[in-house]
């Protein structure tokens, strides 16, 4: 497949995807037989088929197959093909305009090549209405056959009767469809004929095109309006009639379009931009020519022309390069073959001209490339500006909607307060004691159709929804409810009186779409969405005061000052106690007398500056040294 074919397919897919999708599939077959071969031509059926086919296309039918002047073989093939198309359809419609006739209570549609010399020929040359109903039987919701075939039939006048008792009626015979949700509409009541009228289309076809396309109009009402119009336009000579039945719900040929919710509006240039980017990816001349054929005017068309010139310049450069290469090869060949001077000069000139053309094409390609790059930058800047403008417009619309909602809320609150003031009893004469009562009456919050308990419960429910109240909503405006409203005031920036539940607070709470108060969890738990989950630490870790996992450390006991004090007192008491003499084998003597040297002490020679004593029996000064 060529690039052009691929691009065309991509454009078709994009355009198909951008169209509005229908909730149901609707198919239609429209047949108009005018050029009969064995009887005079009918004037209007082809025109009527064109009118009805155009109407069905305009109202969005998925398939509208319009056929004209069908022979018997063509009719058989058309009905078979349409039966296949209606298998997955929700609504199937067949409109037939042309000759029809009734034989023994059975209605037949007559093709253009029918030759009905005898009454039995109708069984071979024409198609019974039941065959038409079989073609639309697979449709799921609605099966509709419209027969504009109640004309004065010329075949009946010349037809031979093989059985005298066989009835060949005037017009068509009434029918009773056996399939549910099936309707058969006649241009004229059973046993009567229809008029072609004096204009291009029959009165019946004109009335159909006026009333069937009305969105949401029930078919029974629509055909009632068709009947009224036809009766009026034919001076009450022709009365259309409908056979079959539908259910209790309204069944319309054209559904009502759903009202789009207010929101960001789609940019009408989006589809053009997408196609432009598809062509930009292809990048060749065929793609840009296809784009310009689809979008000949506008901003993107101008950009596409720049890109087309760039692609054309690239092709010309490639052609010139190839031509220069061939000319150079020819020159080299002639030189190696010792060709005549004239031929060699001619080849040299051709090579030179080709090289100059290549250089010129290269320059032109660079120029067009620079223009294309500038155009692409211009496109991106324009798209950015358009996106910014759209965002600003949407922000302005959102702000305007918010202001309107705020103004409506203020208006409603003002009206409620005015109602309270009007309902408050007014004193008959000015009295000093009545003034405080009046002030108290004005301080009463706006009234509501709810009782105090119901209002309190409603406010509590809304506080729970926005995450400000953890307890149950029991209608008791207690301390917990007051604290929760305080929390709401804090995080929502409001200043409602927390001592009571008010209508204003209820309205403000309902205006909040999600959580307002943050989720607070106990120690050892963390917030996960709108619930608290327990924190689990891995082995060797524990949850600290900050609700974080920290490693467990083994700490040695450290004595405090209070623990050390008893030990210090005990040590001092021991040191202050008088030393008891211990026998060591030596004696220490001083002016107070002699005693044994204490355990852990020794005697050394010392001066008079140190604590000393005289050793018994000697005159040498000694001292007692203790560790």
Rounded to an integer, what distance in angstroms lies between the CA atom of residue 178 and that of residue 245?
10
Mean pLDDT for the stretch of residues 492-506: 90
Rounded to an integer, what distance in angstroms lies between the CA atom of residue 317 and that of residue 151?
70
Domain 23-245 has CATH 3.40.1030.10: no
> Mind listing the pLDDT tens digit for each residue in 116-145?
888 888 889 999 999 999 999 999 999 999
Return the structure tokens found at 453: 């308990």
User: Which residue spans within 229-356 are E strands per DSSP?
Assistant: 241-245
Nearest Cα neighbor of 184 from 168, 202, 172 is: 172
Query: What distances in angstroms separate CA 65 from CA 27, 56, 81, one per listed residue?
Result: 8, 10, 10
Nearest Cα neighbor of 55 from 218, 216, 253 is: 253
Rounded to an integer, what distance in angstroms lies between the CA atom of residue 237 and that of residue 557?
118
Residue 179 · residue 133 · CB < 8 Å: yes
pLDDT band at 482 (very low <50, low <70, confident <90, very high): very high
In this chain, the answer to whether the domains covering 23-245 and 448-528 adopt an identical fold is no
Residue 352 · residue 368 · CB < 8 Å: no
Mean pLDDT for the stretch of residues 292-318: 86
Return the percentage of the chain with pLDDT > 70, whole number: 78
Rounded to an integer, what distance in angstroms lies between the CA atom of residue 283 and that of residue 264?
32
Sequential DSSP letters for 572-609: HHHHHSPPPP---S-EEEETTEEEEPPTTEEEEE--TT
pLDDT band at 607 (very low <50, low <70, confident <90, very high): very low
pLDDT band at 13 (very low <50, low <70, confident <90, very high): very low
Per-residue pLDDT at 381: 86
Average pLDDT, the chain: 79
Rounded to an integer, what distance in angstroms lies between the CA atom of residue 139 and that of residue 136?
6
Residue 333 CB: number of other CB atoms within 10 A?
Answer: 11
> Is this prediction's pTM over 0.85?
no
Buried b (16+ CB within 10 A) or exposed e, 390-415: eeeeeeeeeeeeeeeeeeeeeeeeee
> Mind listing the pLDDT tens digit for each residue in 546-590?
778 888 876 555 555 555 556 666 666 545 555 444 445 677 777
Q: Would you put residue 195 in left (φ > 0), alpha (ψ -120 to 50) or beta?
A: beta
Per-residue pLDDT at 297: 86
Domain ranges of the chain: 23-245, 297-409, 448-528, 581-627
Please determine, for residue 266, whether its predicted confidence score (pLDDT) is greater than 70. no
Rounded to an integer, what distance in angstroms lies between the CA atom of residue 97 and that of residue 75?
13
Give CATH for domain 448-528.
Answer: 1.10.101
Give the list of residues 6+ apart from residue 367 with CB closer than 8 angstroms, or none.
313
Lowest mean pLDDT across 2-6, 135-139, 253-257, 531-535: 2-6
Residue bearing the bigger pLDDT, 350 or 269: 350
Per-residue pLDDT at 226: 93
């Amino acid at each position: 497949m060529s690039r052009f074919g691929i691009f065309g397919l991509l454009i078709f897919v994009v355009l198909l995807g951008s169209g509005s999708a229908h909730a149901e599939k609707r198919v239609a077959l429209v047949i108009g037989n005018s050029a009969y071969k064995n009887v005079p031509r009918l004037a209007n059926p082809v025109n009527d088929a064109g009118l009805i086919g155009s109407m069905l296309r305009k109202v969005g039918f998925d398939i509208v197959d319009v056929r004209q002047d069908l022979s018997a073989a063509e009719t058989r093939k058309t009905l078979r093909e349409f039966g296949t198309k209606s298998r997955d359809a929700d609504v199937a419609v067949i409109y037939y305009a042309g000759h029809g006739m009734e034989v023994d209570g059975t209605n037949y549609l007559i093709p253009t090549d029918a030759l009905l010399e005898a009454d039995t020929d109708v069984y071979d040359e024409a198609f019974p209405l039941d065959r038409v109903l079989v073609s639309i039987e697979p449709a799921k919701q609605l099966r509709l056959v419209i027969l504009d075939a109640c004309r004065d039939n010329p075949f009946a006048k010349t037809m031979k009767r093989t059985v005298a008792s066989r009835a060949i009626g005037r017009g068509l015979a009434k029918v009773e469809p056996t399939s549910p949700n099936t309707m058969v509409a006649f241009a004229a009541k059973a046993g009567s004929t229809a008029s072609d009228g004096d204009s291009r289309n029959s009165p019946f076809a004109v009335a159909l095109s006026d009333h069937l396309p009305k969105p949401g109009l029930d078919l029974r009402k629509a055909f009632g309006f068709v009947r009224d119009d036809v009766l009026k336009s034919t001076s009450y000579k022709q009365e259309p009639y409908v056979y079959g039945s539908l259910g209790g719900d309204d069944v319309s040929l054209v559904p009502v379009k759903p009202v789009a919710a207010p929101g960001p509006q789609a940019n009408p240039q989006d589809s053009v931009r997408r196609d432009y980017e598809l062509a930009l990816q292809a990048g060749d001349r065929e793609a840009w020519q296809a784009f310009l054929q689809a979008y000949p005017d506008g901003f993107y068309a101008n950009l596409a022309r720049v890109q087309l010139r760039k692609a054309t310049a690239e092709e010309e450069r490639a052609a010139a390069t190839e031509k220069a290469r061939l000319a150079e090869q020819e020159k080299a060949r002639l030189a190696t073959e010792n060709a005549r001077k004239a031929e060699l000069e001619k080849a040299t000139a051709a090579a030179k001209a080709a090289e100059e053309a290549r250089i010129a094409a290269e320059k032109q390609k660079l120029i067009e490339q620079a223009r294309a790059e500038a155009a692409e930058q211009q496109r991106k800047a324009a798209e950015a500006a358009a996106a910014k403008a759209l965002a600003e417009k949407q922000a302005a619309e959102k702000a305007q909607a918010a202001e309107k909602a705020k103004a409506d809320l203020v208006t409603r609150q003002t009206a409620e307060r005015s109602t309270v003031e009007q309902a408050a009893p007014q004193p008959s004469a000015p009295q000093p004691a009545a003034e405080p009562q009046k002030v108290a009456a004005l301080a009463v919050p706006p009234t509501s159709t709810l009782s105090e308990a119901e209002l309190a419960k409603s406010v509590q429910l809304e506080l729970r929804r926005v995450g400000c109240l953890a307890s149950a909503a029991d209608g008791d405006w207690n301390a917990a409810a007051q604290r929760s409203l305080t929390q709401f005031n804090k995080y929502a920036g409001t200043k409602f009186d927390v001592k009571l539940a008010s209508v204003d607070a209820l309205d403000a709470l309902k205006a909040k779409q999600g959580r307002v108060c943050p989720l607070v969890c106990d120690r050892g738990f963390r917030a996960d969405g709108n619930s608290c989950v327990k924190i689990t630490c891995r082995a060797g870790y524990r949850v600290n005061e900050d609700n974080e996992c920290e490693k467990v450390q083994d700490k040695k006991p450290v004595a405090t000052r209070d623990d050390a004090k008893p030990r210090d007192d005990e040590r001092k008491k021991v040191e202050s106690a008088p030393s008891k003499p211990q026998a060591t084998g030596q004696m220490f003597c001083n002016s107070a007398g002699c005693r044994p040297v204490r355990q852990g002490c020794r005697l050394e020679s010392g001066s008079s500056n140190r604590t000393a004593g005289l050793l018994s029996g000697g005159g040498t000064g000694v001292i007692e040294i203790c560790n």
